Amino acid sequence: MSDGEPGLYSEMDIEGPDRPEPDPTPGGEPPGAGTGTGTPGAPDDEEMPLTEHIEEMVHRLGVVAVAMAVVAGIAFPFADRLIEFLWFSFLPATASQCPPPGGTVTTSSACPRVYHPLALMVARLKVATLAGFIVALPLFVYETYLFMRPGLYPRERKYYLAAVPTSLILAGVGVSFAFFLVLPAIFTYFLYYSESAAVIAFGLSETFNLMVMMLGLFAFIFQIPLFVMLAIMMGVTTRRWLESRRLYFWGGFLTLAFFFSPDPTGMAPILVALTMVVLFEGTLALLRWTGADAHTSAVEQAASLRPLVYTLTAAAGYVAGPAPMPAGYYGSLPQVFVDALAYLGLTSATPVVVGLSVIAVFEGLNYLLRRYDAPRRLRRALARIRVPVWLGAVAAGYLASPDPRLLADLDVTLLSTVEMAVAVAAVLAVYEGGLALWRWRRAA
């Protein structure tokens, strides 16, 4: 693998004194490469004072907020029906088994419990706001287009306008994905590990907060392909630049998932982060397959995934083999650290804090080696182990979860030690053999 090979490693991590000067744009394209013209500015571009830019931005965000409020107001009278529909779509109960407001007798543990006077009103506001948020997403894209229009070339304007209906479609796909796949999986998992340990009671506020959060979050994260395509089509960046820094995007996705998915077991954040990574990588794979923004051959792109393939294959073999799963170590963390997170209300974010700490130490070491001109071979070696280190940081972070129940679920033996070793070796042999055959055919 060459030092400047794109993919999982950033070129800045293996720089040396003989490196060429960086290109003027992130992807190495000359100015105006994504515009289709060599003119220095867009046709309608003109200088404006900063205050006018800020005023216009506030105005356009205000339009989005007003539209969101209007849609929420329209949806509010139907909020009770929406709450009932969402609740009984994921929990094993029916409306006939649950009492009306003010009732006291239930025939199912999955009926909603109200633990404070405003719980029902807050749930109504949340579901109405969710409807407004989904409808306002394409309007937000359109308002950003109007804000940026004077600085866009005609072809870029077409891309941006086409993104408006696409945004609404992707939001609908995201909500459907959460509704039909993610939320049923989450609640099935919750019921599975809780029913044998305690009497289950679902509080309306906490449970419905998770439902609304996941539906809204998936409506947003399914915009990732749109944002990536827009950025590349408009010449803001390139596919190669995004691929060379993919680990930073993965880390950002994981951080957002743990901060915005309220689940101390880690099940919901893992599903959210995995979906974001798949959308991001799927978009890049589609661009690579269509030949858009191609700078390297497909076989070299596949070869750049070697550390990821080896690490994930070894992890899958360990899970499927007879080796015991590691135990969580939340109880061994320094008490001052645990108390500080609890005081800040970030106990569920413990995996993020621990994982980011490991990554920060590794990346800090990389920075110091570059800063003080350490031997090139050492910097190259650290750059090549970045994928295992980052994945190890994710695993170390999850082991710090307050309730890592996923580890207990994975503690099954599907293969013997010999079978596991053979399976891992076979997967790696197929991967390396495929690369060798691919290169041979290209050379022929």
- The pLDDT of residue 39 is above 60: no
**Residue 4 pLDDT level (bands cut at 50, 70, 90):** very low
Average pLDDT over residues 205-233: 83
State residue 41's pLDDT score: 54
CB 244 within 8 A of CB 11: yes
Q: Tell me: the pLDDT tens digits for 185-213?
A: 888 777 766 665 556 667 777 788 888 88
State residue 196's pLDDT score: 59
Average pLDDT over residues 100-105: 52
Cα–Cα distances in angstroms (integers) from residue 79 to residues 121, 206, 298, 323, in the given order: 9, 17, 50, 50
Average pLDDT over residues 222-230: 85
State residue 104's pLDDT score: 52
State residue 66's pLDDT score: 93
- The pLDDT of residue 29 is above 60: no
Residue with the bigger pLDDT between 244 and 164: it is 244
Long-range interactions of 108-116: CB distance < 8 A, separation 24+: 109/199, 109/200, 109/201, 109/202, 110/200, 110/202, 111/202, 112/87, 112/202, 112/203, 112/204, 112/207, 112/208, 113/201, 113/202, 113/203, 113/204, 114/203, 114/204, 114/205, 115/203, 115/204, 115/205, 116/205
Measure the CA–CA gap between 313 and 388, rounded to whole angstroms.
12
**Could you tell me which of 254, 275, 252, 251 has the C-alpha nearest to residue 182?**
275
CB 389 within 8 A of CB 360: no
Q: Tell me: the pLDDT tens digits for 256-301?
A: 887 776 666 667 788 888 889 888 888 887 777 655 544 456 677 6
Average pLDDT, the chain: 76
CB 183 within 8 A of CB 211: yes
**Could you tell me which of 165, 135, 163 has the C-alpha nearest to residue 148?**
163
Residue with the bigger pLDDT between 333 and 167: it is 333
Measure the CA–CA gap between 65 and 80, rounded to whole angstroms.
23
Measure the CA–CA gap between 152 and 158, rounded to whole angstroms.
10
Q: Tell me: the pLDDT tens digits for 313-356?
A: 888 888 888 888 888 888 888 899 888 888 877 787 788 888 88
Measure the CA–CA gap between 77 and 124, rounded to whole angstroms.
9
State residue 296's pLDDT score: 53
State residue 97's pLDDT score: 63
CB 213 within 8 A of CB 262: yes
Q: Tell me: the pLDDT tens digits for 45-75?
A: 667 677 887 888 888 889 999 999 999 999 8
Structure tokens at 390: 């980052």
State residue 100's pLDDT score: 57
**Residue 443 pLDDT level (bands cut at 50, 70, 90):** confident
**Residue 116 pLDDT level (bands cut at 50, 70, 90):** confident
Report CA torsion sign: 317, 323, 325, 327. negative
- The pLDDT of residue 12 is above 50: no
Q: Tell me: the pLDDT tens digits for 173-188?
A: 888 888 888 888 888 7
Q: Find the helix packing angle between 204-221 and 267-290, rounded to 10°.
A: 10
**Could you tell me which of 171, 355, 338 has the C-alpha nearest to residue 266?**
355
Cα–Cα distances in angstroms (integers) from residue 192 to residues 30, 254, 264, 325, 403, in the given order: 56, 25, 15, 19, 14
State residue 69's pLDDT score: 92
Cα–Cα distances in angstroms (integers) from residue 227 to residues 67, 189, 232, 283, in the given order: 22, 32, 9, 10
- The pLDDT of residue 21 is above 50: no
Structure tokens at 202: 């679902």
Model-level pTM?
0.57
State residue 194's pLDDT score: 62
Q: Tell me: the pLDDT tens digits for 392-436?
A: 888 888 888 887 777 776 777 778 888 888 988 998 898 888 888
State residue 70's pLDDT score: 93
**In which residue are the tokens 């997967």 written?**
427
Distance between start and end Cα atoms, the chain: 21
Give phi and psi for 270, each to the nearest 5: -65, -45
Give phi and psi for 297, each to the nearest 5: -70, 160
